Amino acid sequence: MALFAGCTAKLEPHPLTYTQILTGTEKKAWRMVSYQIFDNGKTDGVQSVQTLLQPCEADDQFVFYANAEHKFEYTNGATKCDPSETDVIFEDSWTLINGNASLEFVIPVLGGKFPWTIKNLTETSLTVEYYFPDIEASYRFTFNSTTK
């Protein structure tokens, strides 16, 4: 009579980090879908990005790379504002600080790089907010991604 001894490996779950969710395994593209402005604690609610941007800008993508340089690209979507525009509008870098859930990157409509507070981050949705303490206002943007 033969006995079979089996060994089982204990599987430990490895939850994804903010970085892995943001960038995927190589790179991940996000498209801005909505925004909300808070002024002295008051807001008009969530607005579609279509009311803020031209149609040729509304399909542009924010691409976060999973490389050591933390490469960031802002790219044209299917609709270009000018046919002579390149696919990549500009390149920069991004910074993520897990301790306070802060993500620093450029949103062109605001004209600069800001340290955004991550309000929500899932595989398909990213919501960030920046507080302007000197004017008691904040801007909140939501992005969606269909890439892994």
Cα–Cα nearest to 86, from 74, 77, 76? 76
Q: pLDDT by residue (tens digit) across 89-136?
A: 999 999 998 777 899 999 998 888 999 999 999 999 999 999 988 888
CA gap 69, 94 in Å, rounded: 9
Sign of CA dihedral 9, 14, 20, 22: positive
Global pTM value: 0.85
pLDDT class of 29 with cuts at 50, 70, 90:
very high
